[in-house]
Each structure stands twice: as C-alpha cells, then as structure tokens.
A = this chain, B = another copy of it.
Amino acid sequence: MPESVALDPVDLHILRMLQNDARTTYRELAAEVGVAPSTCLDRVARLRRSGVILGHRLQLDPARLGRGLEALLLVQVRPHRRELIGPFVERIRALSESRALFHLTGPDDYLVHVAVADPTDLQRLVLDEFTSRREVARVETRLIFQQWECGPLMPPAAGRRSPAETTETRPGPSAP
C-alpha cells in the first residue's frame, strides 16, 4: 500500500536540505535549489500530501533531560498472538522511557529502545514493565555505548545488481 513516489532532482535537493535542517526557509531553499520560493512551497506541500514527508520532529538530547542511559531491550512475547501483542505494544509505546519499538522476525519478537536515568531506573523498568508482564517470556538488555543517526534517507541508486550478475531463479514479472 505505501507506494513509491517519483521524485525529480528538485525534490531530492529539497529533501536533502530539509533533512539537514528542517527549519530551512523557502527562500534559502529556493536560492540553493534554483527555483522560486513559491515553487519550493508547492513542492514541499506535494511531498507532504504524497506521504514522503511525514512530519517535522524535534531532536532532543536525552542526557540533558536526565536520561543519560540508553538501552535496547530484546523481548520475547509468548504466545505470540494478536490478543497479547496488541496490549503489549500499546503499553510499551505509552511508557515515557520508550523511544522506539520494533516488531521483528527472528528469535526476539520486539526490540525496545529506552532512555532512563541510571542503572537503577533501568532495573525498575525491566522488572516492573517487562518481566512482570505475563506475556513477556524473556528480556535481554543491551546497553548503548554510543549511537549515530545516519545520513539523509534517499531513494536507492538505480541500476545496481550485485549478488549474481545472472538472472533471477524465481521469475517475478519476467523480462523479455
């Protein structure tokens, strides 16, 4: 359902600028990209409407908010059924300590990125909000030494094809 959107060089340039600083004005954008400010406005509006741009979010420093310790929790939820995972997800999302939540393939069902004050706070969180829940079969805690947000998210460069220069074994919409 989330269908890929066609983007021209102007859109890409605008997105790169805005990912760097989402407060860049349409004037600056226009000057940099080489179109009129009103065009930038129009492009950004369309990128929003088409769903490429989801929103503008503030980036905060957890450490300065008294949450200097971050961790990833790998969680098994068993049995892995909708009736149990729905409420689990809602509860975890609502925790003030949660920064992100992933539902995954593999031995661990969920990965939760949390930010806490200190080890005692982390212990409290794990014991009170995770292992105390009946559906939580296992929690593995991994501390974060350091983290990086990576460069601008951009469309894949077209025309790669590396593991096996040969044609696919499973057809797909076959080429002539």
A174 at the interface (CB under 8 A from B): no
State A156–B125 Cα separation when bound (angstroms): 12
Q: Which of these, B57, B142, B146, B153, contacts A65 with CB under 8 Å? A: B153
Q: A96-B157, A99-B153, A147-B103 are in contact. Are A57 and B116 (CB under 8 A)?
A: no
Contact B65 A145 (CB under 8 A): no
A interface majority secondary structure: mixed
Contact B15 A60 (CB under 8 A): yes
State A151–B117 Cα separation when bound (angstroms): 17
State A106–B73 Cα separation when bound (angstroms): 11
How many whole Å from A144's CB to the nearest CB in chain B?
5
State A113–B105 Cα separation when bound (angstroms): 14
A118-155 near B? 1/0 per residue, CB < 8 Å: 00110110011000000000001011111111110111
A19 at the interface (CB under 8 A from B): yes
State A101–B127 Cα separation when bound (angstroms): 27
A23 at the interface (CB under 8 A from B): yes
A9 at the interface (CB under 8 A from B): no
How many whole Å from A90's CB to the nearest CB in chain B?
10
Q: A5-B64, A65-B155, A162-B124 are in contact. Are A101 and B53 (CB under 8 A)?
A: no
Q: Which of these, B57, B68, B104, B127, contacts A59 with CB under 8 Å? A: B57
Residues of A within 8 A of B (CB): 2-5, 7, 15, 18-19, 21-23, 50-68, 72, 89, 92-106, 108, 111, 115-117, 120-121, 123-124, 127-128, 140, 142-151, 153-157, 160-163, 168
